[in-house]
Amino acid sequence: MTGHFTTSIEFQMSLLLFVSLAGYLLATRIHQSAVIGEILVGLIIGPSMLGWITYTNFVQSVAHLGAIILLFVVGLEFKIRDIFNIRYGIIALVGVIIPWIGGYLVTTAFGFSQENAIFTGTALTATSIAITANVLREMGQLQTEAAKAIIGAAVIDDVLSLLALSFSEQMVTGDFSFASVGFPVLKAGGFIVAAIYFGTHLCRFVERLDRTSISQKFPEFVFIFVMMIAFLYAMFAEMLGLSSIVGAFIAGISLEGAVIRNGKDYKHGAEYLHIIFASIFFVSLGILVDTHVLTSQVILFLISLTVVAILTKVIGCFIPARMQGMSFRDSAVIGFGMSPRGEVAMIVGLIGLNQKLITQEIYAAIIFMSLITTIVTPLVLRQWFYPAQK
């Protein structure tokens, strides 16, 4: 294979999509979600093992598009009022703070630097909405009180984690003064409040756009507009010191309610973009892992991190749930149900690695921690709490 050939866009795209398909096949074989299969196959063909593809600028660009589209589509699934439930908000908040502290402590205990510890703490904060919801749906438990608490808290969790990510970047790259941490909080809060306030207007605007003659003539007009908003919000978020994916997520939540009649269905459209580009994003996560860093010391750290990740989430969510009067069993289900880390933990790792704020060891530990918590949680839930639905 010549250098020119293996760096051609056609080669990289077809290989990335081929690997994604292989990931689906592997996932079915090992009874896991497609995301896990894609990461594992990405790991196999990447520099860690076969070396068929490297993390080129093109892969990085397409994966970046994928991360933005992914969070936009996740945002499209949630209504603004889901975010503002105070009971779930408390579960989410305690379930973010305790894992952050746990991640920070275990990382410094292993002698890693403060930058690494801050990013690892942040990576432990976010519950994977997709994986949790999928597990509960598979077990037919989506309409229970515990499931609603898990999903509600997981959504708020994501917002809090994305904020934590933005602050981590600020803390690591800047200084620790109030101006550098407090001001971003204000900016971020301002952006979210403005976006949510503006969100209803945006929905109405999209609906009005949909009724114009231009949308009747060109049904694709509204879809292009909506995707433009997704990237525009991502850009604004980044300008304000938030992570760009927070912006995409908020764009998604804001646009959730718009009802389209003439134009092409933008939710379908975003979903199709998501299929191709989020797949490539997950494959790229595997490509980025360098398993050569997995010395026995790193593996020990990885195991400790995973145990801390599960315990802190279980404790951090069990306590506030129990204090709100939920049953012991429901509180425990919520605790374990919040344990899987997914996209956001991986994105935190990715951003840290790309900006050279965390080491390859930490990145690999975060990715494997995400994978293991995701694999273990469904097993625990099925085995301990819902043996009947096995």
Report the residue from 170, 279, 339, 377 that binds its own copies according to the rule CB under 8 A. 279
Asked whether 41 and 24 are in contact (CB, 8 A), the reply is no
Instruction: List, as own/partner pairs, every contact residues 197-204 make where C-beta atoms lie below 8 angstroms and the sequence separation is at least 24, other chains included.
Output: 198/254, 199/80, 199/253, 199/254, 199/255, 199/257, 200/257, 202/229, 202/254, 202/255, 202/258, 203/254, 203/255, 203/256, 203/257, 203/258, 204/258
> Using the rule CB under 8 A, is 240 a contact of its own copies?
no
Report the residue from 30, 50, 194, 214 that binds its own copies according to the rule CB under 8 A. 214
Q: How far apart are CA 389 and CA 372, in angstroms?
A: 22
Stretch that binds its own copies, among 126-134, 154-162, 209-217, 297-305 (CB under 8 A): 209-217
Give the HSE-up count for residue 314: Cα atoms under 13 Å, Cβ half-sphere: 15
Report the residue from 32, 264, 316, 318 that binds its own copies according to the rule CB under 8 A. 264
What is the closest distance, in whole angstroms, from the C-beta atom of residue 267 to its own copies in the complex? 11
Q: How far apart are CA 4 and CA 207, in angstroms?
A: 47
Q: How far apart are CA 247 and CA 229, in angstroms?
A: 10
C-beta of 234 vs 308, nearer to its own copies: 234
Of 361, 212, 390, which is closest to residue 294 (Cα–Cα)?
Answer: 361
Stretch that binds its own copies, among 186-194, 220-228, 254-262, 314-322 (CB under 8 A): 220-228
> Using the rule CB under 8 A, is 283 a contact of its own copies?
no
Q: Which x/- pattern over 26-65 shows residues binding its own copies (rule: CB under 8 A)?
A: --x-----x----------------------xx--xx-xx
Radius of gyration of the chain (CA): 21
For 66, other C-beta atoms within 10 Å of its C-beta total 23
> Using the rule CB under 8 A, is 216 a contact of its own copies?
no
> Using the rule CB under 8 A, is 376 a contact of its own copies?
no
> Using the rule CB under 8 A, is 220 a contact of its own copies?
yes
C-beta of 8 vs 114, nearer to its own copies: 8
What is the closest distance, in whole angstroms, from the C-beta atom of residue 172 to its own copies in the complex? 17
CB neighbour list of residue 205: distance below 8 Å, 6 or more residues apart:
none
C-beta of 70 vs 106, nearer to its own copies: 70
For 199, other C-beta atoms within 10 Å of its C-beta total 19
C-beta of 232 vs 299, nearer to its own copies: 232
C-beta of 29 vs 81, nearer to its own copies: 29
> Using the rule CB under 8 A, is 297 a contact of its own copies?
no
What is the closest distance, in whole angstroms, from the C-beta atom of residue 231 to its own copies in the complex? 4
Query: How many chain residues bind its own copies (CB under 8 A)?
Result: 49
**Measured CA distances, 287 to 46, 56, 267, 280, 283 (Å):** 4, 10, 29, 10, 6
Q: How far apart are CA 125 and CA 312, in angstroms?
A: 10
> Using the rule CB under 8 A, is 346 a contact of its own copies?
no
C-beta of 68 vs 367, nearer to its own copies: 68
Report the residue from 5, 175, 176, 387 that binds its own copies according to the rule CB under 8 A. 5
DSSP-assigned states of every residue in 22-48? HHHHHHHHTT--HHHHHHHHHHHHSTT
What is the closest distance, in whole angstroms, from the C-beta atom of residue 62 to its own copies in the complex? 8
Q: How far apart are CA 285 and CA 349, in angstroms?
A: 9
C-beta of 230 vs 333, nearer to its own copies: 230
Which H or E run contains 144?
none
For 223, other C-beta atoms within 10 Å of its C-beta total 21
Of 48, 15, 354, which is closest to residue 7 (Cα–Cα)?
Answer: 15
Binding site for its own copies (CB under 8 A): 5, 8-11, 13-14, 17-18, 20-21, 24-25, 28, 34, 57-58, 61-62, 64-65, 68, 213-214, 217-218, 220-221, 223-225, 227-228, 231-232, 234-235, 238-239, 244, 247, 264, 268-269, 272-273, 275-276, 279
